[in-house]
């Protein structure tokens, strides 16, 4: 019925339209939507179920979760996951500190630099990680600048890998809020740049930042090349190692890792609920 009318015929139609305008943004659920979603979920979950089924065959003749128990009682698991989680958070923070001021500045004042910055942020897609890490070891592993002992190279690598996502999110967020007006308003109230960034920009970007950070988390936890070649006890090398040794536990671990990453992202998402929306100009809270 909706939209069927070739023209608005009379008051009845006008009031119908008016009613629709007052209704919240959700529309009647289209059956196609359910169909696509169901299809998608089938595709995504069947392989996970297959992995689960295999992991449950750890004991001959019956299904059991003992492989999961083995993983969850392995201290290495906690150590490596904790390590990756911790460095994911550090990466997120440094990445935000690098990207947000830059994106903001480019958006506001250095428009001409935008293509350059965008190009830089797309370069990590273009260079294979294994080549990059050997590049780091060569450049920064010998005098005068020996960084290979410290986690600097690892974090740098993580930041580089997550840069495209972080920048994209921040950029999208900046586009959605009226940066100029906010900045002008803040300046007219006497705020300096640090204050503007801290109290005006960051809070308004909360939703966009969340999106960038949870992708960073997923990337860092799953990242193998840098951690393995730079020799750090991260989660992905642990997974790889286990995969070579134990059949059923490896499958269990893949699922646990999926679940944990999802949970972490869920937590970040939940923490970011109720933040000022991306779509409207709100000014500082």
Residues 183-212 within binding reach of other proteins (CB under 8 A): 183-184, 187-188, 190-193, 211
Contacts of 147 (CB under 8 A, 6+ apart): 136, 140, 141, 153
- Interface positions, 99-138, toward other proteins (CB under 8 A): 99, 101-102, 104-106, 109-111, 113, 115, 117-120, 122-128, 130-132, 134-138
Stretch that binds other proteins, among 74-82, 85-93, 198-206, 226-234 (CB under 8 A): 226-234
Q: How many CB atoms lie within 10 A of CB 140?
A: 16
Nearest of 277, 73, 101, 75 to residue 183 by alpha carbon: 101
The nearest distance, CB 77 to other proteins, in angstroms, is 15
| Near other proteins by CB under 8 A: residue from 5, 86, 271, 281 | 5
Q: Should residue 142 be labelled a site residue for other proteins when binding is judged by CB under 8 A?
A: yes
User: Largest Cα–Cα distance of the chain, in whole Å?
Assistant: 82
The nearest distance, CB 117 to other proteins, in angstroms, is 7
Q: Should residue 66 be labelled a site residue for other proteins when binding is judged by CB under 8 A?
A: no
Nearer Cβ to other proteins, position 62 or 73?
A: 62
- Interface positions, 44-63, toward other proteins (CB under 8 A): 44, 46-51, 53-54, 57-60
Q: Let me know: does 253 contact 71? Beta carbons within 8 Å.
A: yes
Q: Should residue 10 be labelled a site residue for other proteins when binding is judged by CB under 8 A?
A: no
Q: Should residue 76 be labelled a site residue for other proteins when binding is judged by CB under 8 A?
A: no
- Interface positions, 244-263, toward other proteins (CB under 8 A): 244-248, 250-251, 254, 257-258, 261-262
Residue 165 burial (C-beta neighbours within 10 Å; 0-12, 13-18, 19+): buried
Residue 60 burial (C-beta neighbours within 10 Å; 0-12, 13-18, 19+): exposed
The nearest distance, CB 92 to other proteins, in angstroms, is 13
The nearest distance, CB 224 to other proteins, in angstroms, is 7
- By CB under 8 A, the count of residues binding other proteins is 128
The nearest distance, CB 146 to other proteins, in angstroms, is 6
Q: Should residue 73 be labelled a site residue for other proteins when binding is judged by CB under 8 A?
A: no
């Amino acid at each position: 019925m909706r939209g069927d009318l070739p023209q608005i015929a009379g008051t009845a139609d006008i009031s119908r339209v008016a009613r629709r305008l007052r209704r919240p943004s959700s529309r009647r659920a289209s059956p196609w939507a359910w169909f696509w979603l169901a299809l998608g979920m089938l595709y995504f979950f069947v392989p996970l179920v297959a992995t689960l089924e295999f992991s449950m065959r750890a004991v001959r003749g019956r299904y059991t979760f003992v492989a999961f128990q083995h993983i969850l009682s392995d201290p290495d698991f906690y150590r490596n996951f904790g390590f990756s989680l911790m460095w994911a958070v550090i990466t997120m923070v440094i990445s935000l500190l690098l990207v947000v001021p830059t994106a903001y500045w480019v958006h506001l004042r250095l428009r001409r630099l935008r293509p350059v910055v965008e190009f830089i942020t797309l370069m990590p897609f273009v260079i294979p990680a294994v080549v990059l890490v050997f590049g780091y070891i060569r450049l920064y592993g010998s005098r005068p600048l020996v960084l290979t002992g410290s986690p600097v190279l690892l974090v740098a690598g993580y930041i580089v890998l997550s840069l495209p996502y972080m920048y994209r999110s921040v950029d999208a967020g900046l586009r959605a809020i009226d940066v100029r007006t906010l900045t002008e308003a803040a300046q007219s109230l006497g705020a300096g740049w640090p204050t503007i960034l801290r109290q005006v920009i960051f809070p308004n970007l909360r939703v966009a930042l969340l999106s960038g950070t949870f992708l960073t988390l997923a990337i860092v936890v799953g990242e193998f090349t840098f951690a393995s070649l730079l020799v750090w006890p991260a989660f992905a090398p642990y997974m790889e190692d286990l995969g070579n040794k134990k059949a059923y536990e490896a499958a269990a671990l893949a699922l646990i890792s999926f679940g944990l990453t999802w949970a972490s992202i869920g937590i970040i998402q939940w923490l970011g609920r109720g933040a000022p929306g991306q779509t409207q100009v709100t000014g500082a809270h």
